Structure 1
Amino acid sequence: MSSSNDLRISRTLGALLGVHCGDSLGATLEFKPWSQIIRQYPNGLREIVGGGILNWPIGHATDDTDLTRAVLLAYRDYEESKQPGSKQLVEEFNIAKAAAEYALKWNEGDWPGRKKHTRPIDIGNTTRIGLQHYKRLKNPEKSGVGVGSAGNGSLMRCIPTGLFAPGERRQNESIAISEFTHNDLRCTVACAAYNEIVAALVNDKTPQEAVEIGKVKADDLGCAKVIDAIKEGETLPLAKIANEGPRGDITVRASGYVLNSLRLSIAALLDLRSFEDVLVDVVRIGGDTDTNGAIAGGLLGARDGIENIPERWLEKLQFRKEFENVTMRILQLQEDEGKLLVRLDKED
């Protein structure tokens, strides 16, 4: 890997492991209200300790990181399908279908860290129904749950598309990967806008520039509610909410509604404190802490790079080594393909 890609490597790893950190940190406090968290952790929970209502092992992935892994492995498989001798023709490769197949394995017990054939202990209703439909139909375009089911279950897993899909593919694949479980417009457009922000951050845009790019994408796709959520996130006083609680006219709710999570992640991205301090405050607000932590952690990691994520957190993550290895494999294959295309272009 050439040194010119060092920034991309750092921010790509930061984004993926930022999701994992936010998920594993937040799992301890999931479903707890701010009022209870502030009494137990006045300065916020600052260590990944496991436990929580579902008694998680320390650093273990919940559904947020598990389903991010499903999408990540789909991108690895796509890049490997381009290699000589691959049994899978790249022209026939469907990223959304590959991600859905991995998600189905997760749902049916073919997954690291879990006893064979056992179901996940944490799965959202929309995800569960979507995967049931997908198992029967084997068509990611027809399996999702439609209008009215606007949970954050596709936003939490979408970040590999922002990291590995270029150009127009990024929008189309963001939407398609959301649709196999969540095909409400608020979900699909939130994923597309979020991934444009991620890609901009990896390409060294400032946080504010990246947010503007996200708003343009939401506007292009015709979803005013996503635009409004991003704008509200720009004005949200994260530290104040974490210290004083989500009350009054502050539009933060702890539910799993996709636009609540998007709004909170934008506030986190634009808060220029350290990765640790911002993520601790996201989780300190309470409610859907693992998913809000994962979604915000992805943006913060893409902003700050892996070097700015606390090592004491990274060393506890269940999938750290795998995420690092798969990321480097994808980036190497993409770099090799780019060099080949340049050489062929010169020969022409």
Structure 2
Amino acid sequence: MAEAESSLHTYAPNWSKLSKDDVIDKVKGILYGQAIGDAIGLATEFMTKAEAKKYYGKNGPSSYKVIVPDMHRERWLQGDWTDDTDQMLLILLGVVENNGKVLKEDFAKRMWNWTKEGYAELGDRGGMGIGMTTHHTINHQMFLDDPHKAANDIWESSNRFLAANGAAMRTSVLGIVNFNDLTKVWENTKEISLTTHADPRCTASCIAITTAIALMLQGEYDPLNKKSLDQLVHRCLQKAQEYLTSNDHKKELVDHAKTKSWDKLKLDDRKTMGYTFKTMGAGFFALQNSKDFRKTIMELVMEAGDADTNGAVAGAMMGCKFGFKKLPEDLLQFPHRKWLDRKVHQFLVTIGLTDQQQSKVDQGESQTEKERDQENQKEDTLDQTETVNKNTKGDNQAEAMNQGRDVGDKNQDQKDIAITKDENQGAQGESKDAKDDNQVEGMNQGTDVEDKNEDQKDIAITKDDNQGTQDASQDAKDNQEKVADRDASKDDKKENQDAMDGQDTRSLDQNQDQPPGDQEVTTESMDHSTTTASSSTE
């Protein structure tokens, strides 16, 4: 029975008109292409097009090394991906550990654990980059038992206003699993999208993306042939429209996916940059107009706005179009590349695209696994030591980090306004003003709570790594007291903070804020080991 069940989720030659090697090349192109788009997109995240051109010139960032080290971007290691790829990998790992199946309850549990722990083997101390819609849904009392109900409650409570891109950014991998069976692809896509985002526009965006990926893997259409690609896009949008009840939304979906230029998408519009149709539209424009992965991903990055999320979706779709072998080798040099290689290999084995005995990764498994563990431990120790050193540099370092959070917040605040402006023009007025006011309070609250949380965690790390170093421990305690004093001062300025803290008994390890409306909260990481608070429409 187990073998029969497994065969339902593993590749067979009749799944595709392409050769097995070509399918593998495209699957890897999807996964690594997303990570590239995400990582290089960070270069212009929250910028305007004018700002992007000012910092990177006409052609965009030539490598991860030239990413502007401002107070927002310096929090990441060069070439590190963000929450977009983190969450896609949560789905991938669930497939691996559930014998090729996609289970919404399993994904909900992984999301919950990720918000608290992140990827511990990469030095995480909690999930980074949690969007507002996702944040509120995860905090819903029914989330672990019935995530779809939780997400729907949050959507209804916003007057069906929320249509952010947080589901679209992670959905690419769902076009791979069971790609031969479109009905299963659609079922999996809808199940995972609805886990955090209940708006039909979010589901339709995801369906369009995963359908395109599955059809390319089937070899039914040639993405390098314009006529064939046009037919593929038409079929994807036709299916996606079935998930929409509003004719206006159906037209809007098609308009975004068939846009004639980057300019028409207005990706750097601070009021709408996180709208799910914009991210989907960016992916489809890249798919239909790209002749070279690097050239197109750089064009997209220079459109700025929510560039890492747009880059993640476009990178995945172009990665499927061109294949892994055509991806820029220099942009594949992620700081956690070896870790990612192992996870992708496990996924390929699970879905039947590669064999344990065929892979160099698995040769001498018992010996190499020990070496990998030792290497990971060394990397983690270095990350933790770096964190401890940062936390013992004194008041100037602490003040600089606070300024970094403030600047990052200001950049991202501009992004977190109505993502569905066109559909909610009549609802802006006083309602929007109230949302903006509450957002500021929520952002301040999240920063305060997170500051406390970070200092507590940093002290714990200091104790573990420097048990015999009393000075470092004392410095960490002093930092904690200083932050607590700063927090207390901030608390005096926020009358509603205590009440808001008490409302949520399932806080994401109490390091997330709770802004209203369609904005989303994120905590981003510099090196999968540091935490700061900011806002994002994901």
TM norm. shorter chain > 0.5: yes
Letter in 1 for 2:117: G
**1:253 counterpart (267, 285, 301):** 267
Partner of 2:202: 187
User: Does 1:96 find its partner at 2:104?
Assistant: yes
The letter for the 1-side match of 2:191 is: A
SS in 1 for 2:150: coil
- Corresponding residue number in structure 2 for 1:156: 169
In structure 2, the partner of 1:290 is 308
After the TM superposition, which residues 253-272 of structure 1 pair with which residues of structure 2 at under 5 Å, given as runs?
253-254=267-268, 255-272=273-290
Give the equivalent residue in structure 2 for 1:70.
90
Q: Is the 8 A contact 2:44 2:52 kept in 1?
A: yes
Q: Which amino acid aligns with 2:349?
A: R
> 1:127 Cα deviation (Å)?
1.3
Instruction: Work out whether 1:128 is the aligned partner of 2:124.
Output: no
d(CA) in 1 for partners of 2:110, 2:91: 8
Single out whichever of 289-298 and 223-232 deviates more from structure 2.
Answer: 223-232
1:308 to 294, 314, 326: 326
In the superposition, the TM-score normalised over structure 1's length comes to 0.82
1:206-233 CA distance string (max 9 Å, x none): 3323211211211332354255334433
Q: Which amino acid aligns with 1:143?
A: A
What do residues 112-131 of structure 1 show as CA deviations (whole Å, max 9, x unaligned)? 46546x33342211111122
Residues 75-95 of structure 1: CA distance to partner in whole angstroms, max 9, x if unpaired? Answer: 112326xxxxxxxxxxxx761
Give the C-alpha shift of residue 7 in structure 1. 1.3
Tell me, yes or no, if the aligned pair for 1:11 and 1:305 is still in contact at 8 Å.
Answer: yes
Equivalent of 2:240, from 200, 208, 218? 218
Q: Determine if the alignment matches structure 1 residue 233 to structure 2 residue 230.
A: no
Find the counterpart in structure 2 of residue 209 from structure 1: 231
Shift of 1:318: 2.6
Amino acid at match of 2:233: V
Structure 1 residue 140 corresponds to structure 2 residue 160: no
Q: 1:276 aligns with which of 279, 289, 294?
A: 294
Percent identity over paired residues:
24
Are residues 25 and 214 of structure 1, via their aligned partners in 2, closer, same or farther at CA, if it must alter by over 3 Å? same
Letter in 2 for 1:150: A
Gaps of at least 5 residues in structure 2 are: 1-10, 224-228, 357-538
Alignment check: 8 A CA contact 1:48 1:316 kept: no
What stretches of structure 1 of length at least 5 have no aligned partner?
A: 81-92, 242-249, 337-348
Write the distance in 1 (CA, Å) between the matches of 2:319 and 2:335.
Answer: 15
Q: CA RMSD in A?
A: 2.5
- Residue 59 (structure 1) shift: 2.1
1:346 counterpart residue number: none
Q: How has the CA–CA distance of structure 1 residues 288 and 113 changed in structure 2, closer, same or farther, with 3 Å as cutoff?
A: farther
Q: Which of residues 348, 351, 356 in structure 2 aligns to 1:331? A: 351
**Residue of structure 1 equivalent to 2:510:** none
Q: Decide whether aligned partners of structure 1 residues 175 and 335 sit closer, same or farther in structure 2, where only a CA change above 3 A counts.
A: farther
SS in 1 for 2:176: helix
Q: What is the number of equivalent residue pairs in this alignment?
A: 313
Distance 1:59 1:133 in 2: 34
Whole-Å separation in 2 of the counterparts to 1:218 and 1:158: 14
Q: With CA pairs under 8 Å and 6+ residues apart, which has the higher RCO, 1 or 2?
A: 1
Answer yes or no: is the 8 Å Cα contact 2:190–2:207 preserved in 1.
yes
Distance (whole Å) between structure 2 residues aligned to residue 197 and residue 150 of structure 1: 21
Judged with a 3 Å threshold, the aligned counterparts in structure 2 of structure 1 residues 115 and 159 are, in CA distance, closer, same or farther, namely same
Flag the 1:111–1:142 CA change in 2: closer, same or farther, 3 A: same
User: For 1:68 and 1:130, how far apart are their aligned partners in 2?
Assistant: 18
**Using a 3 Å threshold, how does the CA distance of structure 1 residues 22 and 64 change in structure 2: closer, same or farther?**
same
Which secondary structure state, in structure 2, belongs to the residue aligned with residue 143 of structure 1? Answer: helix
Contact 1:269/1:299 (8 A) holds in 2 = yes
TM-score by length of 2: 0.54
Q: 2:348 touches 2:354 (CA, 8 Å); kept in 1?
A: no
Does structure 1 conserve the Cα–Cα contact (< 8 Å) formed by 2:265 and 2:281?
A: no
Residue 80 of structure 2 is matched in structure 1 by: 60
Stretch moving more, 262-271 or 208-217: 208-217
- 1:100 CA displacement: 1.9
Deviations 1:49-83 (A, max 9, x none): 36561421122221100000011111112326xxx
Give the Å deviation of 1:110: 4.1
8 Å contact 2:201–2:244 — kept in the other structure? Answer: no
Q: Which deviations, in whole Å up to 9, do the C-alpha atoms of 1:170-227 show, x marking residues without a partner?
A: 1111111011111111001111121101111222323323211211211332354255
Change over 3 Å in CA distance of 1:113–1:23 after alignment to 2: farther
Determine helix, strand or coil for the equivalent of 2:54. helix
Counterpart residue type for residue 71 of structure 1: I
CA distance in 2, matches of 1:132, 1:168: 31
Three-state SS of the structure 2 residue aligned to 1:150 is coil
Q: Residues of 2 paired with 1:210 and 1:134: CA distance?
A: 41
- What whole-Å deviation, never above 9, does each CA across 1:240-269 have from its counterpart, x for those lacking one? x4xxxxxxxx24233111011111111111
Is this contact kept in 2: 1:61–1:318, CA < 8 A? no
Q: Which has the larger radius of gyration?
A: 2
Q: Give distance in 2, aligned partners of 1:284 and 1:155.
A: 21
State the AA in 1 paired with 2:165.
N
Corresponding residue for 1:83?
none
How has the CA–CA distance of structure 1 residues 134 and 111 changed in structure 2, closer, same or farther, with 3 Å as cutoff? farther
Q: Partner of 1:36 in structure 2?
A: 51
CA distance in 1, matches of 2:325, 2:141: 39
How far, CA to CA, are the matches of 1:70 and 1:134 in structure 2? 22
Q: 1:48 to 1:213 in 2, by over 3 A?
A: farther
Distance in 2 (CA, whole Å) between partners of 1:169 and 1:143 is 23
